[in-house]
Copies of this chain bind each other. A is one copy, B any other.
Amino acid sequence: MIPLEEVQAFVRSTIEALPPVPVALADAVGCVLSEPVIAREPSPSFANSSMDGYALRAEDAAEGGVQLKVIGSILAGDAPTLRVGPGEAVRIMTGAPIPAGADCVCMVEHTEADDDGRSVRIGRAIAVGEFIRREGDDVVPGQVLVEAGQPLVPAHVGVLAGQGLTSVRVHRRPRVGVLSTGDELVDGAGALVTGKIRNMNGPMLLALLATSGFEAVDLGVVGDDLDGVREGLARGIASCDAVISTGGVSVGDVDFVKTAIADLCGPRARSMQVAMRPGKPFTFATTPDRGIALFGLAGNPVSTLVGFEVFVRPALRLLGGHRSLDRPTVAMVLDEPLTRSIDGKVHMVHAKSRWGTDGRLHVTKVLREGSHLLNSVADADVLLVVPDGTGLASGDDALGILLRDDLATAVRGEI
């Protein structure tokens, strides 16, 4: 058996980020920039008012109570030409340009206009610069706005739209095929006969890919037949950046996936026994010509789920240009004991967690283990990484991988 970390390192060593492509800004959220974005324009692009109120000269309002002549009004979007002189003020709206001569703004709540709007009483003393947003306060031209290697978040989209950008160069979003193998598999709602089971891995992997930000391609089901498996994988290789297959990688008489991957990739193919439970058998290769990654995961659904998290997802993130590949692995407090057998493997144990009032994540329920028990682990939000033979007591720390993108299932600061 090969240690998990060694297999993960091997997989990652074979993979490079996909080439950069231009993508419309609106479609780029979640994609990773292939080059830094440099600011072209200052933001704000001109000094403007942060409040609805009056623009004036601070020297006129050294004390509160002064009465000023209102010489005009500036709305957001206006390009003012007037100039504020001594004893004068201009009505101004949030976001409107500060007129020449003015060096501060008094918010409307501290003013009192006369009935005809021709003069205004400034209720308090105002300092130079008050309620003025200076040009370039947020962004100056030439500064790096988003570094290469950063995944775009919605606020970045706002910032880049603020620069007039309508597209960005990002690493192409990986397109990933899913091939389910096994004579026993039935897709969809058809009747089951003895010996047959329904295809769970295919739909689950397609959903995992979609929710992880990748483009998912359904390559369907093929039976336990070498030609069929090879042809299914070849279809994936032709149209995808990576292919995930399930089943056919163990020591069974008709486990043809490892043979098919070896046929397609030659000596680059490695069929491994990973020191991990579940998910021990694992085949991996990249094609010799275009470097398409082929992942042969074990076919039990919980093995597939774990294999996706530890091998596939980080590798696909690498393909997509991400620099941060792993989900966070966090020391959590066990609220119940956890016993393990000694078998030379790291045990990946699904569990449910909650935030505690101590500001830590607590493992509140360790879920049943068994590579076929998908329903039992479906509600898991963490995957505990339990070293071989460890027995842990309630109150001990355990390392857990945070599985859910959306942690909103946790409650506000309490167990």
A193 CA / B30 CA spacing, docked (Å): 32
Binds B, one of A227-235, A237-245, A398-406: A398-406
Query: Is B324 within 8 A of A409, CB to CB?
Result: yes
Q: How far is the CB of A122 from the nearest CB of chain B, in Å? A: 17
Return chain B residues, CB-CB under 8 Å to A110: none
Contact A359 to B75, CB < 8 A, known contacts A95-B182, A190-B164: no
In residues 116-158 of chain A, which contact B (Cβ within 8 Å)? 133, 137-139, 145-146, 150-151, 153-158
In residues 158-177 of chain A, which contact B (Cβ within 8 Å)? 158-159, 161-166
In residues 28-64 of chain A, which contact B (Cβ within 8 Å)? 29-30, 41, 43-46, 50, 52
Query: Is A138 within 8 A of B373, CB to CB?
Result: yes
The contact of A77 among B133, B138, B224, B402, by CB within 8 Å, is B224
Minimum CB distance partner of A359 in chain B: B331
Copies of this chain? 2
The contact of A372 among B133, B377, B379, by CB within 8 Å, is B133
The interface size of chain A toward B, counting residues with CB under 8 Å, comes to 127
Query: Is B163 within 8 A of A252, CB to CB?
Result: no
Query: Is B166 within 8 A of A76, CB to CB?
Result: no
Query: Is B155 within 8 A of A196, CB to CB?
Result: no
Verify if A271 is at the interface (C-beta below 8 Å from B). no
Max count, chain B CB within 10 A of own CB: residue among A30, A91, A201, A407: A407
Verify if A327 is at the interface (C-beta below 8 Å from B). yes
Query: Is A412 within 8 A of B77, CB to CB?
Result: no
Query: Is A331 within 8 A of B413, CB to CB?
Result: yes
Query: Is A324 within 8 A of B155, CB to CB?
Result: no
Query: Is B204 within 8 A of A158, CB to CB?
Result: yes
Verify if A112 is at the interface (C-beta below 8 Å from B). no
Contact A373 to B137, CB < 8 A, known contacts A184-B95, A203-B158: yes
Return chain B residues, CB-CB under 8 Å to A410: 328
Query: Is B207 within 8 A of A26, CB to CB?
Result: yes
Return chain B residues, CB-CB under 8 Å to A75: 183, 224, 252-254
Verify if A267 is at the interface (C-beta below 8 Å from B). no
Return chain B residues, CB-CB under 8 Å to A163: 198
1/0 per residue, CB under 8 A from B, across A76-106: the answer is 1111100000000001011111000000000
Query: Is A378 within 8 A of B203, CB to CB?
Result: no
Query: Is B207 within 8 A of A188, CB to CB?
Result: no
Query: Is B77 within 8 A of A43, CB to CB?
Result: no
Q: How far is the CB of A108 from the nearest CB of chain B, in Å? A: 6
Minimum CB distance partner of A133 in chain B: B372
CB<8 Å pairs between A and B, sample of 14: A76-B182, A77-B185, A79-B195, A94-B300, A95-B182, A137-B373, A150-B379, A154-B204, A158-B201, A158-B305, A164-B189, A322-B408, A331-B359, A405-B406
Q: Given A41-B192, A52-B251, A162-B197, output 9 extra A-B contacts at Cβ < 8 Å.
A: A75-B253, A77-B182, A78-B195, A97-B194, A97-B195, A158-B378, A159-B374, A328-B408, A331-B413
